[in-house]
Structure 1
Amino acid sequence: MLRKKFVVLLLLIIIFVLNLPSASFADRKDLVLIVYSQTEEEQLKDVRILETLVGQFRDDYKIIEDADIGQENLNEFDYVIYLGAGRKALSESLLKTFNNYKGPFFAINHNAEQFKEKMPWLNINGEALVNQVEVPDNQSQNLTEERIVYDVTANGTAVSLVGNKVDGSGSVPLLLNSNNIYYFAGQNLYNPFEEYITQSLINFFGEEGKGITKYLRLEDVHPMVDPDQLREQAEFLKEKDIPYMVAVIPEYTNNGKTVHLVDSPKLVKTLKYMQNNGASIVLHGYKHQYRSSETGEGFEFWDAENDRPIYQPANEKAKQMSDFPTYAAYEAFVEEGEEYERSYMENAIESGIEELVAHDLYPVAFEAPHYAISQQGYKIVSEHFSSYVGQLQLTDLTWKGEFAPPYESRPEFVHGMTVYPETLGYIEEGDDKGIEKMQEKIEIKSKYNHSYLSAFYHPYLGLEGLKEVVENLNEVDGTWLDLKQRDNRVQVNDISIFTIDGEYQVEKPFLASDYERNLFIRKSLIWFIPVLLVGVTLVIFLIRKRKKKSISQVENAS
């Protein structure tokens, strides 16, 4: 009888174990597939924007072009998103694959009229111009420019966004949902459409908004900045108990004049005070300059004159495609240029980190000057930093049209870095309405439950302007971002910097760079010379004293 009970118990255990989910399934995160259609290189911008929006929620998504759909089993994915970045006739195999997929599905922009089986409720009746958007709670937002959208009608769907037509003839639905099948009718994803898609992705992924996060960055702090003015602002932020960032440029250059942090000891002292009292240091390039412009004004990691990556030294005449006999010859030049760019950027990043660390200043993130940087540049930066601050350049076609997601994100094209977006801009010198413009942006973005309110401020504008910016941000309930409280990693040569729970962990040799060795010698000489003078003076004194004593003894003997 006992043996029979044992056998029954053993069978029950086996059945229970066999019915447990496998470890790989139990530990699996929700998988997202993004499929896009593209007909022109320019359309890659919308693809990058969508990546960044999805990256606010998932960092394990997969992105493919529509032609590669046959290589995927959609049943392996929990969510599928389709972006029609360009208009094109979709293949039967793609449409069939989408039709057979039963999970949550989100279609955006072009080509949705071809999803007749997937979205039978959707009718597209041409295009419309809209200049105002309304959401269900009767809030409305005027658009800064007219936008082209698809003029759609749909039965049996939930409409969460409506656009009002420019001609006053009525409105059109922009965002629709029917049984976890979504459609967005806008024809690009730029502001403010990215806000609306972000809000819809919260529902699409079955999540909740993460609330409002605020951050403030003091910008373009280089060796020629007034340390007293900077210290005054740092003391104010400490008094207000506001964590903040300070974007530091280690080298200042202008008209052949070069100044390093070692030449500005009072500024270094101020930066150490800031680091110890709420500030997180961001490396803002090495000299914020590529050709002949003054530090803080010029670009560093983008050839703005030719609107392309850094392919050549600044003193060389920029070669154009027309300078080459064949396209193959031009491609060979670009390949060499990319090698030059890597060497150039590596040197700048290494020099920047090494100079800061030599002064016991520890950068925890990177920001490209003017946010301009190539796609290879992001790869290079990611090899040294885990955190990136600011806005994103979307393609190598142009630096113009940079983009910031509403919330922090980890898009694939920045190679694992976390992007902490800047969403509010800055106060421009001489702009009497600068504070008012920023306040308008704050009012709009604070309406969303998944949003960054983040701005930067130039210290040379003075304390009063900073107080106004802080006052406006403090009027909104939200959490101030303390970047050093996040897990950050910085690595270059023998230097490693980590932040864990607000504490710095720094691993480095005693003298980690040529700059630090020269700094050590310079400091040693500063102390050595006075000590040497004191020593020489003491020796002379003792010699004279002994000589005087000898003379006195001789005189006494005589």
Structure 2
Amino acid sequence: MKKYLIVLCAFLMVFTSKGLVSAEAEDTKTLVVYSSLNRQIDEDERKLDMLLSHFTETINFVHVSDFQPEDTKDTTHVFYYGSRGEQLPDSFLESIGTYDGTLTVIGHNQKQFNDHFSFEASKKLSNFNYMYLDRDKKDKIKISLQSLFTVPETEDMQVLAWGKGGKKTHPLIVEENGSYYVASPDVISPVSTLFGDILHEIYQSSHEEQHPGYIRLEDIHPLVDPEKLKETAEVLIKNDIPFMMAVIPVYTDPDTGKRSHFSDYPETLKVIKHLQENGGSVVLHGYTHQYRTSETGEGFEFWDVENNTPVYKEGSDPTPMKRPDDFHTREAYQDYMAELKAFEKEYTETKLNKGIQELTGFGLYPLAFEAPHYTMSQHGYEIASQFFSTYVGQMQLSDENWQVMDSVPYSTSPSFTHGMTILPETLGYVEPDNNHAAEEIVQKAKQQLLVRDGMVSFFYHPYLGAERLEEVVDELKEMPVDWIDLKEEDTTVQSDEVVITAVDGQVHVDKNTFQLFRDSKTLFNYFVQNTADKVTWAMVGVSSVSVLLFCFYTFISYRRLIRNERSDQVG
């Protein structure tokens, strides 16, 4: 009973606290109307979901062909996402024409909203490779070549962000009479950086000018070099920077298939425990960080890269994936997909359960989750949300292609994560073969500071040693970054036998120790070995004390004998 009360209280704290996500969420209600060919929510809408969820807890998505006038009832903000050009339904345009809340139009079809805008964006696309906020004209962000719809400037228009290509400058985001237009065909990075800041104005948000951040030490598994790990982490400890450790409980050798656990490498375990007690927070980074015969740290665990699908079968199963046209009826295909999703659910739950419980058995307490290579299906995120309140890193936005992933400039809790708060990775990582990696990290950090609550976050591989990390940290120390300590973030992690909560810097662990050791041979052996070692050392201690007492008694007896002999001689 105690365990379930702890879980209930912890989740109430998590979901009633606005934390890093939003300060005005309860005052807003948002409707997103979108155009997409298959009428399904896809990566475009999910990216917008991540951006908007920083400001609001209530977002409804409606395909433009399914829109009903009552959809805008009590809605404070409407976003139309035109991911393709089309003639919009009259009923939708008439309803939006009389809508008196805040309207934002993105991409295609802007000229059909003539009740809100006096201008018409040309279908002609212009290229730009620099962008900047109007209020910070000197802070131009260089980007890869992007396109935008050409917007003619008017007297009533306020240009909030610009795109520059060559000698030509074009409005990128504008406001007119309380309505907004984003001239980019999409809001994928890096456009989302500027749009993310302007959303504060769209939502009239009073978020403070503050910049949370984190540094994550990546791919820490049993075979890492404990000396380099400790040496690297000491850079953060001496600079009083709390940090995250992405820990993989099991290392799998790709050649032999042999699995190594932290019980096999006690020195590494000792170092991680030391770091956990001195500013480090553990993030579960998969259970083995591999699938099929790939190596831990290199492979994908929750995505089948060969088939570019979620993990729908055992890695050793050579059976090819079937497609809809392999079935005579739609129902037969749906039954097939239901079986695959059932396998994915069991597979994912087993991995997450094992990961949480094995780390806990070794005295390591994960406070968040990071999917290996940031790859996981939408179904996978739903499953993970039952175990974790916090996710760290970028997000995969498509179930069709794992490479469609992105991040946002601030923490958020989109609907597709089912309550998990995302602490995004915004700066990338220090690449081993890039001599300018540290410089690039710092430059990206400066860009994040343009967003009034932009997050400064990156990851670092400890095998690179301390020197390159120190180079980045020395630069970041001069920036106004509030480093995140997961122990302060009201996080909750739970598995079948474990509940871990972190509140106000304290980590509380409720675990069924007997069940943990009964279910895991590795943990049972570790417990037995640990107990044997303690008993052995206790026996050594008792024996040592006995020897010392014997020596002391012998010495005292000898001294007494000498004194007695001298007394006899004197007498």
Question: What's the TM-score bracket when you normalise by the shorter of the two chains?
Answer: 0.7 to 0.9
How far the C-alpha of 1:182 sits from its partner, in A, is 0.5
How far the C-alpha of 1:330 sits from its partner, in A, is 4.5
SS of 2:405's equivalent?
coil
SS of 1:321's equivalent?
coil
Instruction: Map Cα deviations across residues 162-199 of structure 1 (whole Å, 9 max, x no partner).
Output: 22245x4x332111112211111101112221012111
SS of 1:340's equivalent?
helix
How far the C-alpha of 1:318 sits from its partner, in A, is 4.6
Aligned to 1:112: 110
Q: Does 1:291 align with 2:289?
A: no
Q: Which amino acid aligns with 2:100?
A: K
Q: Which amino acid aligns with 1:31?
A: K
Aligned counterpart for 1:324 among listed residues 323, 326, 331: 326
In structure 2, C-alpha distance between the alignment counterparts of 1:247 and 1:185, rounded to whole Å: 38
Q: Does 1:496 align with 2:499?
A: yes
Q: Does 1:510 align with 2:509?
A: no
Give 5+ residue unaligned stretches, structure 1: 1-25, 537-558
In structure 2, C-alpha distance between the alignment counterparts of 1:533 and 1:244, rounded to whole Å: 38
Q: Does 1:520 align with 2:527?
A: yes
* 75-84 or 40-49: bigger deviation: 40-49
Aligned to 2:482: 479
In structure 2, C-alpha distance between the alignment counterparts of 1:267 and 1:123, rounded to whole Å: 59
- Equivalent residues in 2 for 1:62-101, closer than 5 Å: 62-70=60-68, 72-101=70-99
CA contact (8 A) 1:453 1:473 kept: no
- Equivalent residues in 2 for 1:453-468, closer than 5 Å: 453-468=456-471
In structure 2, C-alpha distance between the alignment counterparts of 1:478 and 1:287, rounded to whole Å: 33
Instruction: Map Cα deviations across residues 406-455 of structure 1 (whole Å, 9 max, x no partner).
Output: 00010100111000000111112222222222222123223332211101
CA contact (8 A) 1:106 1:183 kept: yes
Give 5+ residue unaligned stretches, structure 2: 1-23, 544-571
Instruction: Map Cα deviations across residues 474-512 of structure 1 (whole Å, 9 max, x no partner).
Output: 121121111110010111113111111111111122324
In structure 2, C-alpha distance between the alignment counterparts of 1:27 and 1:95, rounded to whole Å: 27
Aligned to 1:233: 232
Q: Does 1:382 align with 2:380?
A: no
CA contact (8 A) 1:122 1:154 kept: no
In structure 2, C-alpha distance between the alignment counterparts of 1:59 and 1:67, rounded to whole Å: 24
Aligned counterpart for 2:192 among listed residues 175, 179, 194: 194
Q: 1:192 to 1:534 in 2, by over 3 A?
A: closer
SS of 1:338's equivalent?
helix
SS of 1:247's equivalent?
strand
SS of 1:345's equivalent?
helix
Aligned to 2:246: 247
Aligned to 1:164: 164
Q: 1:100 to 1:501 in 2, by over 3 A?
A: same
In structure 2, C-alpha distance between the alignment counterparts of 1:318 and 1:391, rounded to whole Å: 31
Aligned to 1:223: 222
CA contact (8 A) 1:42 1:397 kept: no
CA contact (8 A) 1:39 1:88 kept: no
Q: 1:143 to 1:110 in 2, by over 3 A?
A: farther
* 45-54 or 116-125: bigger deviation: 116-125
Q: Which amino acid aligns with 1:145?
A: S
- Equivalent residues in 2 for 1:139-538, closer than 5 Å: 139=138, 141=140, 143-155=142-154, 156-166=156-166, 168=167, 170-210=168-208, 211-254=210-253, 255=255, 256-321=257-322, 324-326=326-328, 328=330, 329-513=332-516, 514-515=519-520, 516-527=523-534
Aligned to 2:564: none
Aligned-CA RMSD value: 2.4
CA contact (8 A) 2:69 2:91 kept: no
Q: Which amino acid aligns with 1:523?
A: N
Q: 1:505 to 1:386 in 2, by over 3 A?
A: same
Aligned counterpart for 2:44 among listed residues 33, 46, 57: 46
In structure 2, C-alpha distance between the alignment counterparts of 1:49 and 1:300, rounded to whole Å: 23
Q: 1:94 to 1:474 in 2, by over 3 A?
A: same
- The number of residue pairs the alignment matches comes to 509
How far the C-alpha of 1:395 sits from its partner, in A, is 1.3
* 351-360 or 224-233: bigger deviation: 224-233
In structure 2, C-alpha distance between the alignment counterparts of 1:46 and 1:334, rounded to whole Å: 24
CA contact (8 A) 1:131 1:164 kept: yes
Instruction: Map Cα deviations across residues 40-78 of structure 1 (whole Å, 9 max, x no partner).
Output: 589821111110000122222222222332163413111
SS of 1:493's equivalent?
coil
In structure 1, C-alpha distance between the alignment counterparts of 2:262 and 2:73, rounded to whole Å: 57
Instruction: Map Cα deviations across residues 205-227 of structure 1 (whole Å, 9 max, x no partner).
Output: 11134421221000000000111
Aligned to 1:126: 124
SS of 2:395's equivalent?
coil
Q: TM-score, normalised by structure 2?
A: 0.84
In structure 2, C-alpha distance between the alignment counterparts of 1:535 and 1:220, rounded to whole Å: 42
CA contact (8 A) 1:39 1:87 kept: no
How far the C-alpha of 1:295 sits from its partner, in A, is 0.4
Aligned to 2:137: 138
Aligned counterpart for 1:60 among listed residues 37, 58, 78: 58
CA contact (8 A) 2:215 2:459 kept: yes
Q: TM-score, normalised by structure 1?
A: 0.86
In structure 2, C-alpha distance between the alignment counterparts of 1:73 and 1:108, rounded to whole Å: 19
